[in-house]
Amino acid sequence: MPELPEVETVRRGLETAIKGRTIARVTLARGDLRVPFPPDFAAGLEGRHILAVERRAKYLLIRLTGGKLWVAHLGMSGRFSTFAEEGRKPGKHDHLSLQFKEGGGLVYNDARRFGLMTLIEEEELAEHPLFAKLGPEPLGKAFTTAWLEGQLARRKGPVKPVLMDASVVVGVGNIYASEALFAAGIDPRVRADSVTGKAKALIASIRKVLNGAIASGGSSLKDFVQVDGEAGYFQHHFNVYGREGKACVRCGSPVRRITQAGRSTFFCPECQR
């Protein structure tokens, strides 16, 4: 389910739900998700205290005592939820379960198993293969007009897949790439190097779209006991994504769907040039 806003919503939920707890026991229902759990994963978590829940790109970073970092990626279908009962039976696709010393626990469920869990040293984060080549955070200061101009300038393919390239900017997935291009009035099919002059507007659009989605996810989470971004996700309304054939919210002409790099792209041919 996650693009950056959903992961950020889950991060906030986890922060409330598990920060300050002590991990008493870890149960793995199987040995792998997208990649195997490291051999020391369960033992490495047990006995540790949860200091903070952070995020880099679409990865959740759970800081533990002893300089350890529990890295979690939700893939397409991963979700965390908390439980209060002791001796809870694992449901279908529950792959990981934590029991807290203080009582209650946390479950990771992931039907498609595109998620990922690992345990690394805090200090190896920057050089770690998962993180070394990641571009700037879209909501951070390093995502500048000059940076995006430079990235667009060396790409001759369509602009939309460039926005989804994590070495250009992280956190922008298939939904928000379409939404940001709509907000910026840019046709997703145009060559990336033809819109360098719109880099500044594109950054503003990306931020607007992501911040709007975070605000919507966060507000729905308030009434939610569970750690689960799904409610916020489905509550959010999209301007073009998933709206093939429906009237453009701005001009009324039908929204089109095309395929780019194997993914669906939605856009308004009138409003986006």
Partner DNA sequence: CACACAACCTGTCAGC
Partner DNA sequence: TGCTGACAGGTTGTGT
Nearer to DNA, 17 or 57 (CB): 57
Is residue 113 a contact residue for DNA (CB under 7 A)?
A: yes
How does DSSP assign 190-210, residue by residue?
A: SBGGG-GGGHHHHHHHHHHHH
How buried is 195 (Cβ within 10 angstroms: 0-12 exposed, 13-18 middle, 19+ buried)?
buried
Binding of DNA at residue 252 (CB under 7 A)? no
**Residue 15 CB, nearest approach to DNA (Å):** 20
For CA atoms 215, 216, 217, 222, the dihedral sign is positive
Write out the DSSP string of 88-113: PPP-TTEEEEEEETTS-EEEEEESS-
- Give yes or no for residue 3 binding DNA (CB under 7 A): yes
8-state DSSP, 128: S
- The one among 39, 87, 245, 262 contacting DNA by CB under 7 A: 262
Q: Which stretch binds DNA (CB under 7 A): 51-59, 101-109, 138-146, 248-256?
A: 51-59
CB of 21 to DNA, least distance (A): 26
- Is 190 a binder of DNA (CB under 7 A)? no
Residue 171, classed as helix, strand or coil, is coil
Only segment of 14-22, 43-51, 69-77, 180-188 that touches DNA (CB under 7 A) = 69-77
Q: Does 166 bind DNA (CB under 7 A)?
A: yes
Residue 79 lies near DNA (rule: CB under 7 A): no
Nearer residue to DNA within complex by CB, 125 or 166: 166
Between CA 118 and CA 206 the distance in angstroms is 30
Active site residues: 2-3, 58, 263
Angle between helices 199-221 and 145-153 (to 10 degrees): 120
Residue 248 as a binder of DNA (CB under 7 A): the answer is no
Q: How far is the CB of 25 from DNA (least distance, A)?
A: 25
Residue written as token pair 């971004």: 229
Our CB check for DNA shows the closer of 105 and 135 to be 135
Question: From CA 171, how far away is CA 8, in angstroms rounded?
Answer: 10
Q: How far is the CB of 36 from DNA (least distance, A)?
A: 11
Minimum CB distance to DNA, residue 187 (Å): 15
Task: Rounding to the nearest 10 degrees, give the CA dihedral for residues 73, 77, 78, 84.
Answer: 160
What is the length of the chain? 273
**With respect to DNA, which residue has the nearer C-beta, 102 or 244?**
244
Residues 222-241 that bind DNA (CB under 7 A): 229-230, 233-234
Binding part of the chain for DNA, among 14-22, 45-53, 96-104, 173-181 by CB under 7 A, reads 173-181
